[in-house]
Amino acid sequence: MKDDAAAKNKIAKLRELLNEYSYCYYVLDQPQVPDAEYDRLFCELQVLEKQYPELIVASSPTQRVGEKPRSAFTQVPHKIPMLSLNNAFSIEDVTNFDQRVRETLEVSEVSYVCEPKIDGVAISLIYKNGELTSAATRGDGTIGEDVLANVKTISSIPLRLRGANFPAILDVRGEIYMPKAGFAAFNQAAEKAQEKAFANPRNAAAGSLRQLDVRVTASRPLDIFCYAGEIEEMTHYQILLQLQSWGLRINREIKVVQGVRGCLDYYALMLKKRDSLPYEIDGVVYKVNQLKQQQQLGFVARAPRWAIAHKFPAQEELTKVTAIEFQVGRTGVLTPVARLDPVFVGGVTVSNATLHNIEEVWRKDVRVGDTVIVRRAGDVIPEVVSVVLERRPEHTAKVVLPKHCPVCHADVIKDEGEVAARCSGGLFCLAQVKESIKHFASRGAMDINGLGEKLVEQLVDQKLIQNVADLYALTTSAISALARKGEKSAANLIQAINKSKTTTLAKFIFALGIRDVGETTAKALADYFLELPRLMGANAEELEKIADVGPTIAAHIMAFFKQKHNRELIERLLNYGINWEKPQLKGTALLGQTFVITGTLSMPREEIKAKLQDLGAKVSESISRKTNYLVVGEDPGSKREKAQKLGVKVLDEKELLLLLKKSKI
């Protein structure tokens, strides 16, 4: 008696949960859990109801196909009920299905039609005398929703059949879906317009088909595959070919096979092709090919005995987040990763999933302890799709971006308006060391000839170097000991490393790999500060005086030099003998001033440019708010007008020469 009461309570809870999930899925178009979770709960309810048949009620989810149609659409009764298929999740399930079919038919082998199970919306199309007169969704299997006006907007559905000899009334069954490319484009446009994006192509198809405004449906990229039609005296496969001849679209992957072995081979083939198909499938369907055998097998309460859906391993599953950690990539970007209770999804056991960036974590509000939907499609890295908020435990905390790098403890920087957060310890952070060395040795930087990417990988992997300063401590014997490195090539590399010690301040600044400091900005910094210590101690106000440096780049420069390890590495590099000539200036009267020259002058422009640079000035090609002077000659063009709008002082050639004279050139 106690067991009966427990079963009754469990059954009631399962029904309530399944009805809630069905409502969210079918009515609201907002799935709350993956299909695999719904299937498990449904199977659990089926088992309990089989054990306690006296507890079965007409309103149980097991006794009907789907939800009631929305009241906004006219209700349409189906001439033939639109039933669902039973599911197979394993080879054993398929083998048992085939055995039941053969035993009932009393045959040794059965011919099956195999087809991809399209992830879309089931539809019934009625053609009267070749003309499309009705289109209805599955609804509850007996009564559906009239979506004829919406269906007529789908180009692949013929409004009139081709050819002749079709029945006076033809009931065609199919699946309306949204192709992967159309789904991606639609969601991209929705996000750009700050509108709601769909969770998956199936829900996109359902939401598009059930629009009250037909113009909305017409704007959505919907398509169809037809999979059945009411035609007598044919095999199932012949019916499909006949539908195709009348202009109805069928799937090209459909195939006739013999026996259970043929079914399983088809399953393996489609599982392999799944990710390359232009539409989503979540399994394959096996149908007895002979119609007479179908009739002999008949139906159970909610599904035909002559067909079954063999589901692929779920691409979405439920699991719990046990921790959220931050990984540092080779360019310093911090990526949050969810540590999960291991779960089998997409054919593998998953225990980690990417959360992409901190903005994504906050947008989805993923927290430690949450139950989440995890998705893995093909070889794609598993990701957290969403949180099941109803299962969130109490006292969870919002994820906070770490202030310091988890690898090297340097400051973490996140610029306003950017989604990525980055470690500022690029020179010494072990997660970034290979990239920092490759950049340091590149042609525009220290130009160490012979130090290519593969050799850098070898040196770091063999622990011969851990940072850029270690390059200058390398020996010929250490390099020649590496695979494919002889003494001659090792000696050449050591020579190139020693040669790189003599450089320029601009190249050295660029070699440090400060974020957003390219070759041009590095030269501007070198020309302005002249000495490295002045640059390392500069504040934002000083840095922003330079035309190429705004608040963001200034912040990156200060953050870089703020790191103790960066300063120590720079000191080591200088102690190894890296040097550059100090610029020989005739004066510094115009130091930090930016000039733009336009129009035709009597003095050659390059001569003017050289005189200005000798006084510490910078000559730029374009005007900005940081420009101090515009030098104009004849036909100055639009730059004069722009300078006046920006409040930039305008000099003619005489005024320029006077300025140069006063500056003691």
Amino acid letter at 273?
K
Separation of alpha carbons 183 and 647, rounded Å: 50
Q: Classify residue 601 by burial, with Cβ atoms within 10 Å: 0-12, 13-18, 19+.
A: middle
DSSP 149-218: HHHTT-TTS-SB-SSS---SEEEEEEEEE--HHHHHHHHHHHHHTT-PPPSSHHHHHHHHHT-SSHHHHH
The set of residues, in sequence order, having a beta carbon less than 8 Å from that of 65 and lying 6+ positions away, is 81, 82, 83, 84, 138, 140, 141, 302
| Alpha carbon of residue 526 to chain centroid | 40
DSSP state of 392: P
User: Is beta strand 412-413 parallel, antiparallel or unpaired with respect to 421-423?
Assistant: antiparallel
Nearest to 593 by CA among 624, 616, 622, 621: 616
Token pair for 437: 């060395």
Angstrom CA distances, 252 to 52, 116, 181, 225, 256, stand at 44, 10, 19, 10, 12
Q: Are 446 and 580 in contact (CB under 8 A)?
A: no
The set of residues, in sequence order, having a beta carbon less than 8 Å from that of 578 and lying 6+ positions away, is 472, 500, 501, 503, 508
Separation of alpha carbons 467 and 440, rounded Å: 10
**Residue tagged active-site, from 79, 117, 438, 485:** 117
Q: Determine whether 117 is an active site residue.
A: yes
Separation of alpha carbons 540 and 558, rounded Å: 8
Separation of alpha carbons 87 and 40, rounded Å: 11
Token pair for 176: 């309306």
| Alpha carbon of residue 655 to chain centroid | 58
Separation of alpha carbons 479 and 474, rounded Å: 7
The residues annotated with a catalytic role in the active site are: 117
